[in-house]
Structure 1
């Protein structure tokens, strides 16, 4: 994908429910992810969509957040909205154009920092995040259990939520060792005063064991498939194409 190809990509968000495991009928939150479609109607997998030079990757990350917020207005109501944030964008302060003009109040937004991306400067990242958190935004550490420096990032960023990676959840109903790992995570979360969300719940047995172990929230195919809204297709706003 060349550096100009973003202009020809149609972006649209997908949303997936995050629920309280003991009360799955009530929506606690939604996670937004972005997808792309070529002019010929062919969908692009995320691995291709985000295969961009650094500056374009930051631009795509930035625009994806604004599209996801705008399109969620019709259903998010009093729920939280989880948004992905690339560490490069966040360290550069390239997060939102103007938080006072966001269609969803900032105190309903949760910014997810993926733990699979190396963070060049925790100090600059924390400085940018603290500004938004002071205005009411919450923070989640995504993909916990994979990546580079899990526990150090928890100490540095003090996230409101920790999302347990699906690889941690996959065998919880099949392995005593996996259960012990989750038990340890629950105790850890209690110590550092954060809230756990289990990702990738695909079976009823997984959900039941997670409830038993004390994990309060979860998402996954068993609890709800990702969905798109019928009229959410949106070309990149022209005024944003020149950024950053």
Structure 2
């Protein structure tokens, strides 16, 4: 594949991704209403300015012409609302209205000698300046957003779309009721290439795989379309559209498999790359983004478990019920029955090392006292419908800890941050559960922060906004966890009533070795501050990272550099030290 062909393929994928994130504006009906209101106010301004009659107001005689300023102010207010609510279209409309109105006022003043228009002329001039300032400010924010988006949707190594982009693409397809297949791919034995030939060779292999598949997706465009993305490491993903039946999906995957398995020559060494493939169909297998990711990945893992190097497997409902998942689910149920779900606390500090509070993290031991990794039991608890019980066990213990702190140190401003799953948040009795625990331990809601993942902004935005409003009305804070790794678009974030953005550890890890990663983190912080949000960086592990975060204006730090997750007794020592 030539460089020009590669560039053309990348450009075509850019076009697709640019179409995925249209910003939401106020409804058209509001635009029409403002225009009509502006026209009415302008007409009454003209009528009032030309009237020579009088009326009585509070026992005083008042000229009708005096009301011209009132109607003029109303029209100016409509102009400003247009510029604020409708961005470019609103700005152009407001500008046209103002540029039409100013000459009319000048004619009235200097030709017809209607001096009552004189104050309105200056007011219109200042309104025009305000509209221009509003538009320029919006353009600045838009540039920041575009900068973040450009980096957020693109895999830095291969140039392919990443998980963020493919999530938005799926959202768009689901919104328009299009059927599609999600294919999860994992290259076989890729680790051995990195270990034996070095990571540089491994990167070249990944780029070659990406180029082959991107080129093939362009050649196939027609009845069947394939969107190619790199998820992480040696994992890729396809979105297949335009197929007639499942046989078409498998034929398409086989075509890409054949292209992958052609001999690859790098530095005079020949490589033969194979992969396993798992796929799920929308809407047959799932109807939302999370389930499509989960089901295609489950099919992939089952395909790899079969140890067939180029196997293609369609998701089946029982794929999720592997023996390991069943065993982990049993352990979670036992832990809930035996009250052995516990928690650790990881401290959060401001940039000057002043304690902000703690994040409560779920911990679990099995019946033999062995620690079960959260990365293992949390996903299983979610699939088994047990995550809300896990959330509440941790929340109650965290509130007990907070109560102990506030009893001993009444002036403490400590904040306890608790994770809540999307499933739990959407339960009808979620607010009642939280309220009952808060009342039980008599803790102020202002000391509590609820952490949610950004996927909620895609899956159930309307209900999410309603639920978050209820949380905020209680006085609690809201944090968006792992920001930048998943699905959210900034148009959602702008309207989302949160208090804190948490930058994911993956970006912090690369910050001091990659200028683009550092710029990405800096841009997220800037956007957060523009939206009046505080920003905390997770996974900070050394002083060099702290110095960089200080330079780019980060508000808070969380990570091993200043504190690992710890039992509550150690956390109490930090609070009272």
Do the structures match in fold with TM over 0.5?
Answer: yes
Q: Which moved more, 1:152-161 or 1:190-199?
A: 152-161
Please name the residue that 1:221 is paired with. Answer: 560
Deviations 1:21-55 (A, max 9, x none): 1x21x211211111011232111111333213443
The question of whether the paired residues in 1 share the 8 Å contact of 2:512 and 2:545 is answered with yes
1:211/1:231 CA distance change after superposition, 3 Å: closer
Identify unmatched segments of 5+ residues in structure 1: 233-244
Unaligned runs of 5+ in 2: 1-328, 407-411, 572-577
In the TM superposition, 1:73-222 aligns within 5 A as 73-75=403-405, 77-93=412-428, 94-95=430-431, 96-98=434-436, 99-115=438-454, 120-222=459-561
Is this contact kept in 1: 2:341–2:390, CA < 8 A? no
Q: Is the 8 A contact 1:116 1:146 kept in 2?
A: no
Alpha-carbon distance change, 131 to 169 in structure 1, aligned in 2, over 3 angstroms:
same
Q: 1:44/1:74 Cα in 2 relative to 1: closer, same or farther (>3 Å)?
A: same
CA distance in 1, matches of 2:568, 2:404: 9
* SS state at 1:140 partner: strand
Mark the CA change 1:16 to 1:103 in structure 2 (over 3 Å): closer, same or farther: farther
The 1:120/1:31 distance shift into structure 2, 3 A limit, reads same
Question: What is the root-mean-square deviation in Å for CA atoms of aligned residues?
Answer: 2.3
Does the CA contact (< 8 Å) of 1:145 and 1:165 recur in 2?
Answer: yes
Q: Secondary structure at the match of 1:139?
A: strand
| 1:17 to partner: Cα distance | 0.9
Using the alignment, how far apart are the partners of 2:366 and 2:360 within structure 1?
Answer: 20
CA contact (8 A) 2:341 2:393 kept: no
Deviates further, 169-178 or 99-108: 99-108
Q: Which residue of 1 aligns with 2:368?
A: 40
Q: 1:203, CA displacement in angstroms? A: 0.9
- What's 1:12 paired with? 342
Does the Cα contact within 8 Å between 2:364 and 2:372 map onto a contact in 1?
Answer: yes
State the secondary structure of the residue aligned to 2:568.
coil
**CA deviation after TM superposition for structure 1 residue 108, in Å:** 0.6
Q: Which structure would you say has the larger Rg?
A: 2
Taking the aligned partners of 2:363 and 2:418, their CA distance within structure 1 comes to: 13
TM superposition shift of 1:186: 2.1
C-alpha separation between the residues in 1 aligned to 2:426 and 2:534?
A: 24
Structure with the higher fraction of residues in helix conformation:
2
User: How does the TM-score come out when normalised to structure 1?
Assistant: 0.85
